[in-house]
Chains A and B, each alone.
Chain A
Amino acid sequence: MVNFPRKGVEGSTETMLLNVGPQHPSTHGVLHMMCEISGETIVSAKPVIGYLHRGIEKLAESRTWQQDIVLTDRLDYVAQFSNEWAYCRAVERLAGIEVPERAEWLRTLLVEMNRITSHLIWYAGVTMDIGALGTPFIYAWVARERIFDFYEAVTGARVMPNWMRLGGVHTDIDSAMLKEMRDFLERDFPVEVDEYEALLVGNEIVQSRMKGIGVFSAEQLVEWGVTGPALRASGSERDLRKDVPYGVYDRLDFRVCTDDVGDSLARCRVRLAEIRESARMCVQIIDGMPGGDVRAKVSRALKPPVGDVCVRTESPRGELGVLVASDGTTKPLRFRVRSPIFYNLSAMPHMLPNHLLADMLVIFGGIDTSMGEIDR
């Protein structure tokens, strides 16, 4: 039992400890939330994590540099390509591997598509949480399924692609497939995003639930370590794709989606805008794709020089940092992940108090958790 600091809520008599999770319909994985509630008002909250711990960081130390890419898929299992890319970029910088031009474009393309599918899962989850019985959920799932068909055709697997390699990517995408992707993302997909928007932010019931709920300023969020769309909804322009461009982001024309209200509804708007923006970026990438090789020659027994490298990327949930340290052998000395969701979730005890139990889900949806990356 954890002793909560007793904070008096006006008119309250006694508080009650409500354990939300680890088996609860809306904790998105196995998160355990200890909420002290007074009536239906949350007095204090404490996330308990670790139920999905698989020891990925330690496991990585016993595998070769190439084999670890398989593990990165399993970090944040809704944003697989982002993790792969962060890891590959770190190791490539450490070992001084040049990545062919086309491979960079391909990587950017699939990572942006991955941002779409990841946000679609967020959309599905958040609509489910506020009680919409799965209709918007399935609509989002249908579009996600289309994109997953592309993943499967390109990489060979739907969820755990293991597609990026040190020095490039595993398989090229042929022009017929690129055209198919372009058609879908330019023609069919925006229509569906309109529907998502109408069913979520256009719905008055949703507005009444989200407007003015969980308003945080950018300074507060930065102090708590929150990054990603949750931060940008509070007016911050912080986006690593613009700030420290990597991949081919410096050659793309895109805008950072922000909103300055900073409430839960703004966070939804930002994510939906990011879905649209990513679809536009994908079309640009497909149009600008150069030809050429997709994979540089890298020895299977790669031995990067002694040292360490830390790389930051903008994953769909915020800033994903990867540190790899090498002692000059075929296996990493240390593999460390700075998971954006871990820090976003750590802000929960500050965010939740004085909100209703029902608001918990809304605020929760605003930061878009994925337990695979928190527990690792």
Chain B
Amino acid sequence: MSAAMWIHALLWLVGLLLLIAVVTVMGVWWERKFIGHLQRRRGPLHHGFHGLLQLPADMVKMISKEDIVPDSADPWLFQIGPLMVVVPAIAAMAALMFAPGFGLLDMNHGLFYIFAFQTLLPLGFAVIGWSCASKFTLIGALRAAAQLISYEIPMLLAALGVVVAAGSMRLTDIINAQAGVWYIFKEPLGFAIFGIAVLAEMNRTPFDLPEAESELVAGYQTEYSGMKFGFVQLAEYSVLFTGSYLVSALFLGGWNMPFLPASPLWLLLKIVACMTMTMWFRGTFPRLRVDSLMSLSWKWLLPIALVNIMAVAALALALPGIY
């Protein structure tokens, strides 16, 4: 690799980390604000413009907190657990494309790369839950692992429908293929499945069982405090961002907008809209029960996703110009 490439990669890396920081700050702020108003409250108000600086203040608090390691915890796994969640969550973001040719890695299998890293997450959660040697974290971790693995399959199958239609795994190609009609209109079923599965992947209500507060205190993160807890939160927001990005890119046309020139602005808008949707759900719905969560995935989403991908493939063969 030449020096220019190294510099390019380094700049992007810094950029992405900055993006994650900004996304987390803005995301948490917006979540608090929006849910606050859903609940007839005002949300953060006093630090900075309408409480915008609340999260940085919280971060400082988190960093300065005592780093508590439970006596019975496995010292090594307890330390590396958060990293095993943060690293894949951030690594997955390397393949995101924000405009044609504008992204760290425009891989020709970008989608595959993102999913590959996301599949590593359950492992991290399992390690976190196991290392704490607490019953609540253990149950939370097993729930997280079971949930992420069972929802991955319908999610991948639904995404595969898009790949079949676009004929490529490169994100740029997929998005450019939606310059005319977005895939949400061509594959509404796939969109529904993908949306539900992504919600579950992101651990958001109504699928937030791994951290079900009323049952499991805080699920797998119960024993974490200080910056380690912050890391787990960071991973969650990265996953939230990636998930919203995927929904916008695969089904909502990415940077395309009908009758208007393509621009990364649209993509950003769609991501924010998707994130807001998840917050709205979070503010309204209770959570599912463990067994209905599983049966939803295996009994409903999976068969429907299989039907969907076959239908899409058949349509793509039958009407090559349209699909």
CB contact under 8 A between A132 and B212, given known A40-B139, A209-B289: no
Please give me the residue from chain B that is nearest to A19 by CB atom: B135
Please give me the residue from chain A that is nearest to B218 by CB atom: A25
Within 8 A of B (CB), among A190-222: 199, 203, 205-206, 208-209
Residues A133 and B214 in contact, CB atoms below 8 Å apart: no
Within 8 A of B (CB), among A247-301: none
Residues A135 and B38 in contact, CB atoms below 8 Å apart: yes
- A349–chain B nearest beta-carbon distance, Å: 19
- B277–chain A nearest beta-carbon distance, Å: 15
- A294–chain B nearest beta-carbon distance, Å: 36
A356 interface neighbour in B213, B282, B283, B291, Cβ under 8 Å: B291
For the complex of A and B, 8 pairs with smallest distance between CB atoms: A131-B287, A26-B214, A130-B286, A132-B286, A138-B39, A131-B286, A129-B214, A358-B289
CB contacts (< 8 Å) of A132 on chain B: these are 284-287
CB contact under 8 A between A208 and B38, given known A25-B217, A131-B212: no
Tell me if A350 is interfacial: C-beta within 8 Å of chain B. no
CB contacts (< 8 Å) of B292 on chain A: these are 208-209
CB contacts (< 8 Å) of A208 on chain B: these are 288-289, 292
CB contacts (< 8 Å) of B212 on chain A: these are 131, 358
0 or 1 for each of A69-107: is its CB under 8 Å from B? (1 = yes): 000000000000000000000000000000000000000
Tell me if A56 is interfacial: C-beta within 8 Å of chain B. no
CB contacts (< 8 Å) of B285 on chain A: these are 131-132, 203, 205
Give the interface SS of chain A, mostly helix, strand, loop or mixed: helix
Residues B286 and A209 in contact, CB atoms below 8 Å apart: yes
Residues B217 and A24 in contact, CB atoms below 8 Å apart: yes
Tell me if B208 is interfacial: C-beta within 8 Å of chain A. yes
Tell me if A52 is interfacial: C-beta within 8 Å of chain B. no
- B42–chain A nearest beta-carbon distance, Å: 12
Residues B287 and A130 in contact, CB atoms below 8 Å apart: yes
CA of A24 to CA of B135 in the docked complex: distance in angstroms?
13
Please give me the residue from chain B that is nearest to A130 by CB atom: B286
Within 8 A of B (CB), among A335-376: 356-361
Residues B286 and A26 in contact, CB atoms below 8 Å apart: no
Residues A205 and B286 in contact, CB atoms below 8 Å apart: yes
CB contacts (< 8 Å) of B206 on chain A: these are 131, 205
B289 interface neighbour in A134, A138, A356, Cβ under 8 Å: A356
Residues B287 and A25 in contact, CB atoms below 8 Å apart: no
Residues B40 and A142 in contact, CB atoms below 8 Å apart: yes
Tell me if A324 is interfacial: C-beta within 8 Å of chain B. no
CB contact under 8 A between A135 and B214, given known A40-B290, A209-B289: no
